[in-house]
Chains A and B, each alone.
Chain A
Amino acid sequence: MSIINQHWSLILQRLVLVSVFVIVWWLASLQMPAFILPGPQRVIEAVRRLFETPSFLNDVSATFRRVLLGFTLAMIVGATLGLLLGANKILARFFEPVLAVINTVSSAIWAIFAIIWFGISDATTVFVVFMTAMPLILTNVWQGVQTVDRQYIQLALSLRMSKLAILRKIVFPSILPYFFSSARLAFGFGWRVSLVAETIGASEGIGYRLRQAADLVQTDQVFAWTLLLVMMMLFIESSVLKPLEKRLFRWKATT
């Protein structure tokens, strides 16, 4: 009973938070010209118009395609390299500085490089997403490999498991939490940097439309895109990532 109450009280709190935000926004917008801060009604109207734009679906799917491609490549490469570095100390010591260098380069710089190398194309955004997401996943998987419990390996050896079976039954499940949390983080980052890359290196996509709207001082459009992006991220978080996490890690004690 109290859990249900807590649940409703949380929903109420969220509603209050949203209403306060909207009211403050609305009051502020009354004091300013619309090209600096458009009011809520204007932005809602802009969102409606966005949906009606013929290129809308095309833009959204372009961005999604690039993010997913870059992210998938980052997962494959990052997890494989992370496993390799985790398994081999000499290799790890040799490549550690490379990782540090990649991590310090800002995604804006990757975007500029990408423009030089790939020009205005999907590859530019994919590359930036990849370069941002891959090191995150690599580092976490590598760390995960190092935390694999020796005792479980010994147990597996006492059962005469093959190396491959140990990898599958002990190592993979052990690093899955690390992999998942890093993939989640990497997806969030990748998604955000994809827009940066698209503002300079694409001729379609959400980032491109954002810059276009800004250039034409269509501030309500910028707000509309932002609102949509936030909604989409929240939707992915609550309908894909959260349930997936719950399912994958139901063996963990909830405290």
Chain B
Amino acid sequence: MTTEEKTKTKTLGKAAISLNGVGKKFSNTQVLEGISLDVSEGEIVALLGRSGCGKSTLLNIISGLLPFDQGTVSIEGVISKNYTDWHSIAYMFQEDRLLPWRSIIENVCLSLETGSSSFNERRQRAMKVLKIVGLEQVAHAWPYQLSGGMRSRAALARSLVINPSILLMDEPFSKLDPLTRSLMHTEVLRLQRERKVSVLLVTHDVEEAVVLADRIVVLAPSPGRVATIEPNQLSHPRVPTDPLVAEKIRQLRLKV
């Protein structure tokens, strides 16, 4: 096993995330089986699948929140058990999870509070990111005062403020209305290109996967496993009404 791990590490030069035969059991149910996939640096990979095929479980495993039973997870070429630089991974959840008792800027600062930066440094960095996502006007507002789209931006800011090299996203826009969602897509693409973040995006929305991802991994349920991996080289911006994009969406729907 160790020799295997070592060779794996060597060949992994350019992979931000590399999964090799990852499996997970909850009591006696196998939820994930033999998941192998790579996310290259600066790539957006979408994990597409119906609910219950273990997409979120996989993200929790990669983020180190959940132990797993089989296989290996490597992050930036390091087996995740030995990986110490967890601060380069940001996790954006399905819900915005803004702490209601903190103002927007304080929520963004939360990500930095495990580091060694001073209060003023944190504030400055948070404000910078809030400007990028267009929330500087409401930096001192309470979460309840913001719309769903703004809260989602705040959550994005909280993820980006640590300058992550890897961004894990668990259906982060599924609760937004279609218009706001597509605005957030544009935003994510812009930021991802500027910052060269590697993104692993979990979604059940085929359109979202096609619009955002460079590669789409389709998961099959019970147990969750990789069904197909679909490259996606359409040029940006991808508009769902564009015939090429629409065709891609149609094709992919048949595979999910």
Contact = CB atoms under 8 A, between A and B. Distances in A.
Interface of A: 151-152, 154-155, 157-162, 165, 169-170, 173, 176, 250-253
B114 A159 contact: yes
Contact of B113 (A151, A154, A169, A176): A169
Contact of A251 (B65, B95, B101): B101
Given A152-B97, A173-B99, A173-B101, A158 B91 contact: yes
Given A152-B99, A173-B101, A251 B142 contact: yes
Nearest to A168: B113
Nearest to B95: A151
A158 B114 contact: no
Q: Which 9 A-B pairs have the closest CB atoms?
A: A158-B91, A253-B144, A173-B101, A251-B142, A251-B101, A155-B97, A160-B86, A151-B97, A160-B114
A255 to B, nearest CB: 10
* Residue of B65, B86, B91, B110 contacting most chain A CB atoms (<10 Å): B110
Contacts of A157: 65
A177 B143 CA distance: 17
Contacts of B95: 151
A153 to B, nearest CB: 10
Secondary structure class of chain B's binding surface, majority of residues: loop
Nearest to A173: B101
Contacts of B91: 155, 158
A154 B101 CA distance: 17
Contacts of B145: 253
A115 B3 CA distance: 76
Given A158-B63, A159-B110, A151 B99 contact: no
Contacts of B93: 151, 154-155
Nearest to A176: B101
B100 interface: yes
Nearest to B145: A253
Contact of B65 (A154, A162, A165, A173): A154
Nearest to B143: A251
Contacts of A252: 100, 144
A75 to B, nearest CB: 20
Contacts, number: 46
B102 interface: yes
A165 B99 CA distance: 14
Given A152-B97, A165-B114, 13 more contacts: A155-B93, A158-B63, A159-B111, A160-B114, A161-B113, A162-B114, A169-B99, A169-B113, A173-B99, A176-B101, A251-B143, A251-B144, A252-B144
Interface residues of B, number: 21
11 contacts: A151-B93, A151-B97, A154-B93, A159-B111, A159-B114, A165-B114, A169-B99, A170-B99, A176-B101, A251-B143, A251-B144
A70 B24 CA distance: 53
A34 B85 CA distance: 81
A234 B102 CA distance: 31
Contacts of A170: 99
Nearest to B107: A155
A251 B98 CA distance: 12
B151 to A, nearest CB: 13
A27 to B, nearest CB: 50
A155 B155 CA distance: 11
Contact of B100 (A159, A165, A251): A251
Interface string B108-127: 00110110000000000000
A110 to B, nearest CB: 36
A253 to B, nearest CB: 4
Nearest to B89: A158
A29 B135 CA distance: 66
B171 to A, nearest CB: 14
Given A155-B97, A158-B65, A251 B114 contact: no
Nearest to B99: A152
B81 interface: no
Contacts of B65: 154, 157-158
B87 interface: yes
A169 B91 CA distance: 18
B256 to A, nearest CB: 27
